[in-house]
Structure 1
Amino acid sequence: MRKTTPGRSYRTFYSFLAAILLMGWLNPQAVQATPAAPTIHAQAAAVIDVTSGRLLYNLRGDETLPIASLTKIMTAIVAIEHGKLSDTVTVGRNAFAKEGSSIYLHMGEEMSLENMLYGLMLRSGNDAATAIAEHVGGSEEGFVYLMNEKAKMLGLMHTHFQNPHGLDAKGHYSTANDLAKLTSYALKNQQFKEIVRTPSKTAPNPNDPWDYKWLNKNKMLRFYDGADGVKTGYTKIAKRCLVSSATRGGQQIAVVTLNDGDDWNDHRKLLDYGFANYPLTTLIGEGQEIEQGLITGAEFKYALATEEASHIERRLKLTTARTGSFGYRGKISVLLNGEEIGTVPVYDKISYRPSGSGEGSEPRAGGAFGSASDRKLIRLPSDWSDAFKKVLQSLLFDVQ
């Protein structure tokens, strides 16, 4: 049997080490590191940038678990989208004296849908949830159908609802990742955003000489700088559940934890982690002239770690036919590590419509415009315009 000398072993080891280091030098992506996340106590967790919808962190993010009153995030957004805030909601026998957390509505009591939503989200009223569901959906079952249809529409593949309040029930579950995506969607609705950020709310009380006054159960609104939502939850089976959000420097981040006995402190850590490591960065500006006669139709922002800057790529895809509406000429695809993370429409400059006209940055992996035969792919040259150079520089220096 052939023996290996110590000198030869060392040479072999150092040669192997040198090869690994050389591979990393030639391919920086191979050694690209993810920022280290803090230690937390949750069974499952997720962190999301609200603007871009990018999941920044997850711990067992796709594990299906009971979610308690985090259910009411879906209840609220479905009610806002399907109901009329000025509607009068009447409390029926199913809502009256509903078990669990309550805003203590009386049988037959009438309240506006808007005020009912404040009672739902600030005090987690199960009676309010049931009354809202019966008013908006015609019945609790009808409303739950709308909730599950909304979950499908949002691509929440590991979520299913059995009721509008979150009391434990077989087949009622979600995941940290799905709840993060739902929250990101809901926070883009101005009415929802206003409700969940409200520290306290006063509403007319027809049964007593004093008004209702509801203090928000979400302590993050008082304990974390910039906090602006979202919802607490607890049942004996689900344990402590929390979704929080905060805005700093124009960036809003949301955090989800499920079954977390130290959720207030863990949310502080995870929000700090998101803001410190994934600043919202402008990658493309609205109205930027990209080449003679062409202009971008929207801005594109993305939560981006510093070490990811060199892995961003932009590709301009133009249609050969000019039959698109309002001078539409194609789109810029933005890629991170070769994967499309979003697109921005491109127009003829003379026919460009400013923001608010119905055009905007498009979601990731959007459909192609036109067939493959009437498109051409252009890699953007490094000197395409001084204006757009500034946008490229923002990748490194312009944190919004």
Structure 2
Amino acid sequence: MRKALLILCALPLLLGGWLAAPGQAGAAKPAVTTNAEASALIDVQSGRLLYEKQPDKQMKIASLTKIMTAIVAIEEGKLSDRVTVSKAAFGKEGSSIYLKLGEQMSLHDLLYGMMLRSGNDAATAIAEHVGGSVEGFAFLMNQKAQEIGMRNSQFKNPHGLDEAGHYSTARDMALLTAYALRNPVFQEIVKTEMKKVARPEEKWDAVWRNKNKMLYLYPGADGVKTGYTKTAGRCLVSSATKNGQQLAVVTLSDPDDWADHKRLFDYGFEHYPLATVIKQGDKAADGILFGRSFRYPLLEGEEKQLTEQLVLEKPESAAYRLGDRGRVELSLDGRLIGSVPLYSEGSTRIRQEDDAAFRFKPTEAPAKRSFLQTAGSVLRALFAGGATIR
């Protein structure tokens, strides 16, 4: 066991050229501003917040609420279900897709009507069908918020009309959006510019055009949702993808939201490109492979604040006998940002499909030698020198 500790100590020491020296300042953050009362910019894949302004201020979020409604309905409901429009849904005030009392529509189509046209009637019908009642569905919404880590949010309804005790924050909405965009059904709905839906009880089909103008204003835009009430002001969540990287912007109470979202996207893509720190299948040491890729948005110079810690499996453990060799824990400026498993070469536990790239598989030019490639060299040298773990 002492030799295992020797590896843990020697590795950071030999990587000194890649690590920040004691007291070394972090990379300087470029300036950017918005007109929003609260805002956030998040990298969807890593979940890293790249910009924030009053991110934890509890505020009304209007129809941004429907992002939560959609992901809960997708996960908890059956998309092919036929939903019957109740009196409560038929009479719901505000934006509408003009559902008729007793009309039936699939849950899938109702989700399009809710997300593209912000139909409060659709949101109510969805909630009653999936949750049994609006109150039951609100319980599911709050349960999901806790699972995601939304610590400053509370949901009372599925549509976002003003109600006491119904609120969220820019940070929480960014976390929710990053979570929801990992779902392929949600992705497909929110990037749709126009949807045609059959209405057998009508003389013509419904044609819904997405209210989210960012889909037409910004190259690569692919979501998400608009919102407005008099008390909440203009609220907007949008997403965009460039070079295999997806970002999402949240602005709450912002009179110039379209321009602010374009500005924050430009800022994020320019200053925080998504870097491949570890590539799945690369050798960490002789006979030991990285089990998963790890990509992370890094400001220029931040690689010097990257550190790692090697956590090794004991040879007598069941995991070791199955091919697990431990993990590398990655930190940025002292904060844990992720971990990558280590497997023995040939282990069936190495994933065939890399879930770190859940959506994108970009072709990338060879990157400069990373600190973890250097780590692999150190490990190889240690094991070649006869180091053992007891």
Q: TM-score range with shorter-chain normalisation? A: 0.7 to 0.9
**Which of 300, 305, 316 in structure 1 is aligned with 2:310?**
316
Q: Does 1:221 align with 2:215?
A: yes
Matched position secondary structure for 1:350 = coil
**Which of 66, 72, 77 in structure 2 is aligned with 1:72?**
66
Q: Does 1:306 align with 2:280?
A: no
Query: Which amino acid in the other structure matches residue 274 of structure 1?
Result: G
**Equivalence for 1:258:** 252
* Distance in 1 (alpha carbons) for counterparts of 2:175 and 2:257: 19
**Which of 338, 343, 362 in structure 2 is aligned with 1:342?**
338
**Which of 316, 331, 337 in structure 1 is aligned with 2:327?**
331
Query: Which amino acid in the other structure matches residue 32 of structure 1?
Result: A
* Distance in 1 (alpha carbons) for counterparts of 2:21 and 2:115: 52
Matched position secondary structure for 2:66 = helix
Q: Does 1:116 align with 2:100?
A: no
**Equivalence for 1:8:** none
Spell out, residue by residue over 1:197-233, the C-alpha distance to the aligned partner (whole angstroms, 9 max, x if none): 0000000112222100000000000010000000000
Query: Which amino acid in the other structure matches residue 28 of structure 2?
Result: A
* Distance in 1 (alpha carbons) for counterparts of 2:376 and 2:326: 17
Spell out, residue by residue over 1:126-178, the C-alpha distance to the aligned partner (whole angstroms, 9 max, x if none): 00000000000011110000000000111101000010000000000000000
**Equivalence for 2:3:** none
Unaligned stretches of 5+ residues in structure 1: 1-24, 363-378, 387-400
Matched position secondary structure for 1:179 = helix
Matched position secondary structure for 2:202 = coil
* Distance in 2 (alpha carbons) for counterparts of 1:380 and 1:283: 12
Query: Which amino acid in the other structure matches residue 135 of structure 1?
Result: H
Matched position secondary structure for 2:301 = helix
Matched position secondary structure for 2:248 = strand
**Equivalence for 1:274:** 268
**Equivalence for 1:81:** 75
Q: CA deviation at 1:281?
A: 0.6
**Equivalence for 1:161:** 155
* Distance in 1 (alpha carbons) for counterparts of 2:212 and 2:69: 18
**More displaced stretch, 313-322 vs 131-140:** 313-322
Q: CA deviation at 1:383?
A: 4.2
**Equivalence for 2:349:** 353
Q: Does 1:101 align with 2:95?
A: yes
**Equivalence for 2:277:** 283
Q: CA deviation at 1:352?
A: 3.9
Q: CA deviation at 1:316?
A: 1.9
* Distance in 2 (alpha carbons) for counterparts of 1:129 and 1:66: 17
Tell me if structure 2 keeps the 8 A contact 1:232–1:241.
yes
TM-score normalised over the length of structure 1: 0.83
Query: Which amino acid in the other structure matches residue 204 of structure 2?
Result: W
Matched position secondary structure for 1:231 = strand
Q: Does 1:205 align with 2:199?
A: yes
**Equivalence for 1:30:** 25
Structure having greater relative contact order (Cα 8 Å, sep ≥ 6): 2
Spell out, residue by residue over 1:43-72, the C-alpha distance to the aligned partner (whole angstroms, 9 max, x if none): 000000000000001000000000000000
Tell me if structure 1 keeps the 8 A contact 2:313–2:326.
yes
* Distance in 2 (alpha carbons) for counterparts of 1:71 and 1:340: 30
Q: Does 1:170 align with 2:164?
A: yes
* Distance in 1 (alpha carbons) for counterparts of 2:41 and 2:24: 23
Q: CA deviation at 1:361?
A: 5.8
Spell out, residue by residue over 1:287-345, the C-alpha distance to the aligned partner (whole angstroms, 9 max, x if none): 11111111111100111111201111222211113411741121111111122100011
* Distance in 2 (alpha carbons) for counterparts of 1:282 and 1:31: 20
Matched position secondary structure for 1:144 = helix
Change in CA separation of 1:361 and 1:328 when aligned onto 2, cut-off 3 Å: farther
5 Å-filtered alignment, 1:10-49, equals 29-30=24-25, 32-37=27-32, 39-49=33-43
Spell out, residue by residue over 1:85-140, the C-alpha distance to the aligned partner (whole angstroms, 9 max, x if none): 11111100110031000000000000000000000100000000000000000111
Query: Which amino acid in the other structure matches residue 55 of structure 1?
Result: L
Runs of 4+ in 1 over 4 A off after TM superposition: 25-28, 359-362, 381-386
Tell me if structure 2 keeps the 8 A contact 1:46–1:59.
yes
Q: CA deviation at 1:31?
A: 5.6
* Distance in 1 (alpha carbons) for counterparts of 2:70 and 2:22: 47
RMSD: 1.9
Query: Which amino acid in the other structure matches residue 335 of structure 2?
Result: E
Tell me if structure 1 keeps the 8 A contact 2:154–2:165.
yes
Matched position secondary structure for 1:287 = coil
- Identical pairs, percent: 56
Spell out, residue by residue over 1:255-298, the C-alpha distance to the aligned partner (whole angstroms, 9 max, x if none): 00000000000000011111011011111100111111111111
5 Å-filtered alignment, 1:357-372, equals none
Unaligned stretches of 5+ residues in structure 2: 1-19, 358-373, 382-390
Q: CA deviation at 1:246?
A: 0.1
Matched position secondary structure for 1:29 = coil
Change in CA separation of 1:330 and 1:200 when aligned onto 2, cut-off 3 Å: same
**More displaced stretch, 344-353 vs 248-257:** 344-353
